[in-house]
Structure 1
Amino acid sequence: MNNADSASQSVQTMYAERFATDLTDNRAEQKELTAQIERLRARLAQLRADETWLTGMQAALPGETAPPRPRRAPRTGEKPAEDDTPSGTPVPGPRPAGRAKPRPSRAKAGGSRAATATAPLHQLIRALMPPGEPRLVREVHADLTEAHPERGTSVQVVRNTLETLVKRGAIGKGIQKGAAMYTATEPAPSEGGTARMPG
């Protein structure tokens, strides 16, 4: 009976630790995604404001009576901003016209990062780990920060995610010179396979 009770307690402890780690990882990723959503909403609001200003400036040019493609028609809430600006009156504003030039490149950069903004963190980390190369947590965190600076992930979140990947059998873990080393044993699976990795 004592052996059975001890084994039962050991199993319960193992599952409790696993659930605690998974829960911490889950909450950390929720927090990270929430911050990403807020940043994307702020960026979208800025782009809409810039579009309103640029449309007004375009309408103020000689010979310009209306934008070539009235894309803003569905946005009924913002139509008065265009209607209130006479086509023959220059639109005053503190912004120099040159500020509009770097916007497209920043928008393209934001668009290229849209995929990583919603990609699971474990998928990004797994993709950055070459097979057979032991990596420290801080090394994985540095690679992630360099490859995906928009994620803004902490070292602790990376550590939790690596531990989760170890529990799922996606990567291996060993101790070298007193430090935990994480190693990918095979190439990273496709996005679909990683996203559906069993918990």
Structure 2
Amino acid sequence: MNNADSASQSVQTMYAERFASDLTDNRAEQKELAAQIERLRARLEQLEADETWLTGMQAALPGETMPPRPRRAPRTEEKPAGDDAPAGTPVPGPRPAGRAKARPSRARTSGRKKAASAAGVPLHQLIRALMPVGEPRLVREVHADLTEAHPERGTSVQVVRNTLETMVKRGAVGKGIQKGTAMYTATAPAASEGGEAPAAG
């Protein structure tokens, strides 16, 4: 009877630990997704503000002709372009300024698109791409490599550990214990390296 009771307690303990691990993984993933949503909201607000500014600049170009300012008068006199030069000068004046302001916004947009594309890749694919086949790695080592390669993810050590455990269940990563410490070893080539991301999931 004692052996049966101890076996029952060990099973309960095993399930309790598994449920606690899954719950921690669930909450960590919720936080990660919430952070991504917040970044996307901020990006959307920035795009809406840029759209409003660009629309106003576009509407101002072909329509009204603004009167020449006092600062532009001496510049017009220096250029012997003729009598039609003062009337045409104010029109092309604001165009280069508008284009110069639009270019940095496009550069920032391209940079943010690259960060967004990295943020949209599943975490297990990023982790697998950083693990050489047959080389045991600690959780903290994998987390350090992930933080260095993809700082925009902001993933914790616990999330990396839970993701590795999920990869162990899928057979993509092997797990061993060395000196009381869990070591994870990649057992198959990374799907992201071969361009077969759906096969990994």
TM-score (norm 1): 0.69
Q: Please give the per-residue CA displacement for 1:95-144, whole angstroms capped at 9, x wherever unaligned.
A: x8545322223222332343443433223212321211222223212222
- Identify unmatched segments of 5+ residues in structure 1: 66-86, 91-95
Distance in 2 between residues matched to 1:17 and 1:169, nearest whole Å: 21
Distance in 1 between residues matched to 2:117 and 2:138, nearest whole Å: 26
One-letter amino acid of the counterpart of residue 49, structure 1: A
Distance in 2 between residues matched to 1:11 and 1:179, nearest whole Å: 22
> CA 1:109–1:6 in 2, change beyond 3 Å: closer, same or farther?
same
Q: Please give the per-residue CA displacement for 1:63-90, whole angstroms capped at 9, x wherever unaligned.
A: x25xxxxxxxxxxxxxxxxxxxxx5569
Alignment: residue pair count: 167
Q: Please give the per-residue CA displacement for 1:121-172, whole angstroms capped at 9, x wherever unaligned.
A: 2232123212112222232122222332221112332233223433554322
Which residue of 1 is the match for residue 69 of structure 2?
none
Flag the structure with larger Rg.
2
User: Once the 2 structures are TM-superposed, how far is the Cα of residue 41 of structure 1 from its aligned partner?
Assistant: 0.8
One-letter amino acid of the counterpart of residue 5, structure 1: D
One-letter amino acid of the counterpart of residue 46, structure 2: Q
> CA 1:30–1:194 in 2, change beyond 3 Å: closer, same or farther?
farther
2:192 counterpart of 1:186: no
Which residue of 1 is the match for residue 29 of structure 2?
29
Q: Percent identity?
A: 76
Distance in 1 between residues matched to 2:55 and 2:143, nearest whole Å: 42
> CA 1:178–1:16 in 2, change beyond 3 Å: closer, same or farther?
closer
> CA 1:56–1:166 in 2, change beyond 3 Å: closer, same or farther?
same
Question: Which residue of 133, 144, 153 maps to 1:142?
Answer: 144
CA RMSD of aligned residues (A): 2.7
Distance in 1 between residues matched to 2:28 and 2:116, nearest whole Å: 20
> CA 1:88–1:40 in 2, change beyond 3 Å: closer, same or farther?
farther
Distance in 1 between residues matched to 2:32 and 2:188, nearest whole Å: 28
2:133 counterpart of 1:131: yes
Distance in 2 between residues matched to 1:24 and 1:57, nearest whole Å: 50
Local SS of the residue matching 2:164:
helix
Which residue of 1 is the match for residue 14 of structure 2?
14
- Identify unmatched segments of 5+ residues in structure 2: 67-89, 91-96
2:115 counterpart of 1:109: no
Distance in 1 between residues matched to 2:154 and 2:16, nearest whole Å: 29
Which residue of 1 is the match for residue 5 of structure 2?
5
Structure ranking higher in helix proportion: 2
One-letter amino acid of the counterpart of residue 146, structure 1: E
